[in-house]
Amino acid sequence: MKKKVILGISDSHNAAAATLASDGDLVALQEERLTGEKNYSGHPEKSIAWLLSSQNLKPEDVEQVALASHHQPPNRDRKGLIKEYREITNTKSKLKKFLRDTKVFEWKKGRGKKQRIANLINQGFKKEQLKFFEHHQCHAATAYYGWGKFDDPILVLTCDGAGDGLCATVSVGKKGQIERLLTVEWSHSFPILYSVVTYMMGMVPLEHEYKMMGMAPYAKGKDAERMSKKLLALFEWDKSGLPTWKRANNVPHMYYIKDKLNELFFEERFDTIMAGTQLFTETMLKEYVARAIQLTGIKKVALSGGVFMNVKANKEIMAMDEVDDLFIYPSCGDETNAIGAAYLAAVDKFGIEAIKPLKNFYLGPEWTDEEILTCLSTYERGDTLDITTSTSINRKVAQLLADGKVVARFTGREEFGARSLGNRAILADPRNPEVIQVINEMIKNRDFWMPFAASILDTHADRYLENPKHIESPYMILSFDGTEKGKSEVKAGMHPYDGTCRPQVVSQESNPEYWDLINTFSEITGVGALLNTSLNLHGLPLVHSPKDALYVLENSGLEYLVMGKVLVRKKKV
């Protein structure tokens, strides 16, 4: 008898699909990994097909297809996004703004929904299998059900650019149910402002916001504070103390804020603008959290929505006296709404017993050593690669890393989301900050000011990170101040200017093989951490298959690639 399964789908920016079984088994994949288009937008046809085939399922075996969001914006690739932000204030865009308040927009939304249904019917599903869930309801579900603390009341907050007409919600999770208390309409969305500023700084909106965050520590404090105050003046908080805000008088809808920002930013330095926007965002989020705690009296806080990908803002929230405990769903942008929709449908269909707290984020495919060797045997490489197989592969790799080599790693199940969590990774010795330039020249081409991250053994976390509240951090979604030991032994994995670290704290339970590799490196060097950045070519998504990993090896300055028990060395770098 086949297991009962829910299929969750997010068919918007960074499309993804997930299956959640009645026994709690969660499997998920992003469409970008299969198409090769970073942040792929649209119907995740290939991901759905893989989820079904890998589990020997047919469309009729799915109990329910749960779609995140009642309405999705038009599909846009990177060029389309830039074009949209460029033309926000032109005549055509103003006409669209006018039509939003007419039946024309409702007709357009209905047509889009019909197309989404048609996409699934074309893949063999029936209309009666489908159910739509509201956008922020899905974000709230990831935060609450992903944490899995059903015995305690949990304050659940969402915040992002926009979804189904909202940019934020305040809810309380209790005994497996989520009760929504308050909402903020999307025209007041300060995360949209952050994305508009990203575009104005010459970067890609909905993708490069992390670059603004990385630049923020370099600007002088007083300049950042001055700029932050300018931006804060654009908003007003509810006068009764509720955790809601709105645009100040004569401030336009945030989607159309670009002209107003041009006035505020006139003759300002780029680093001041970035730092001020970051400080403004931190201030808004802290006020949001503080007011929500004051309203509910609940100090255990779960967060989701794209703005909480901002690890520096998360650090400020974590440090608040009002916050006793904090959980942020990993990679909490719209890609995880596929999981959120699946959670909601599973609770309806199977009950709360089907929801298991998140234990790790390795939700994708895994390739056997035999499949890897088969790929290598058919890979057209001429005589360019040395290939060795070893049962003590971690010892060999750890020694290479200790000797100063950079090693790519393709091992175990593929991680979901925006962060490399060691299985599709480029690794290096974290003691040597010069390795950052080496990796950038080899493959990453990152902006000079951007820090790298670190994977840290759970046994060494207190040695390297200031974490007085002992908040768990296995997903690179939080940042911490480094200790003096951390700033010395994990120097390359810390922000060079402010000494903070965005860690993946690795436990033996969450990833035994990766933990063993770092532990072996520790036995050799005394350092219980590795520099970790994602295995991909610049502008492309994380690698998905052994062939993808070999392509990166061949088309970069990398010399070593470990795939399972196989070590591949490029003879000529």
Q: What is the pLDDT along the chain (573 residues), one digit of tens a residue?
A: 678 999 999 999 999 999 999 999 999 999 999 999 999 999 999 999 999 999 999 999 999 999 999 999 889 899 999 999 998 887 677 677 766 777 777 888 889 999 999 999 999 999 999 999 999 999 999 999 999 999 999 999 999 999 999 999 999 999 999 999 999 999 999 999 999 999 999 999 999 999 999 999 999 889 999 999 999 999 999 999 999 999 999 999 999 999 999 999 999 999 999 999 999 999 999 999 999 999 999 999 999 999 999 999 999 999 999 999 999 999 999 999 999 999 999 999 999 999 999 999 999 999 999 999 999 988 876 678 899 999 999 999 999 999 999 999 999 999 999 999 999 999 999 999 999 999 998 888 778 888 999 999 999 999 999 999 999 999 999 999 999 999 999 999 999 889 999 999 999 999 999 999 999 999 999 999 999 999 999 889 999 999 999 999 999 999 999 999 999 999 876
Cβ atoms of 503 and 476 closer than 8 Å: yes
| CA distance from start to end of the chain | 52
Cβ atoms of 505 and 474 closer than 8 Å: yes
Cβ atoms of 162 and 306 closer than 8 Å: no
Rounded Cα distance between 207 and 201, Å, is 13
3-class DSSP state for residue 365? coil
Strand partners, 27: 19
How does strand 26-30 pair with strand 500-501?
Answer: unpaired
Strand partners, 368: none
DSSP conformation class of 543: P
Virtual torsion, Cα 52, 55, 58, 63, nearest 10 deg: -90
Q: What is the fold of 369-570?
A: DHBP synthase (3.90.870)
3-class DSSP state for residue 30? strand
**Residue whose token pair is 């589990």:** 55
Closest CA to 185 of 100, 84, 112: 100
Cβ atoms of 498 and 315 closer than 8 Å: no
Q: Is 450 exposed, middle or buried (0-12, 13-18, 19+ CB in 10 A)?
A: middle
98 CB neighbour count, 10 Å cutoff:
10
DSSP conformation class of 248: P
525 CB neighbour count, 10 Å cutoff:
17
CATH (one of 3.30.70.360, 3.30.420.40, 3.40.50.1100, 3.60.120.10) for 146-330: 3.30.420.40
Give the model's pLDDT for residue 99. Answer: 66
Cβ atoms of 158 and 140 closer than 8 Å: yes
b/e per residue 310-335 (b: at least 16 CB within 10 A): bbbbbbbbbebeebebbbbbbbbbbb
Closest CA to 17 of 3, 32, 4: 32
Give the model's pLDDT for residue 1. Answer: 63
Q: Is 434 exposed, middle or buried (0-12, 13-18, 19+ CB in 10 A)?
A: exposed
DSSP conformation class of 150: -
Q: Where are the domains of the chain?
A: 146-330, 369-570
Give the model's pLDDT for residue 32. Answer: 98
Dump strand ranges (E) for 130-242: 130-133, 154-163, 166-174, 177-185, 235-237
Closest CA to 493 of 481, 483, 480, 503: 503
b/e per residue 252-274 (b: at least 16 CB within 10 A): eebbbbbebbeeebeeeeebbbb
Q: Is 518 exposed, middle or buried (0-12, 13-18, 19+ CB in 10 A)?
A: buried
Tokens of 327: 């959980």
Read off the amino acid at residue 101.
D
Dump strand ranges (E) for 207-309: 235-237, 245-247, 300-304
Rounded Cα distance between 423 and 511, Å, is 9
Virtual torsion, Cα 207, 210, 213, 215, nearest 10 deg: -90
Q: Is 114 exposed, middle or buried (0-12, 13-18, 19+ CB in 10 A)?
A: exposed
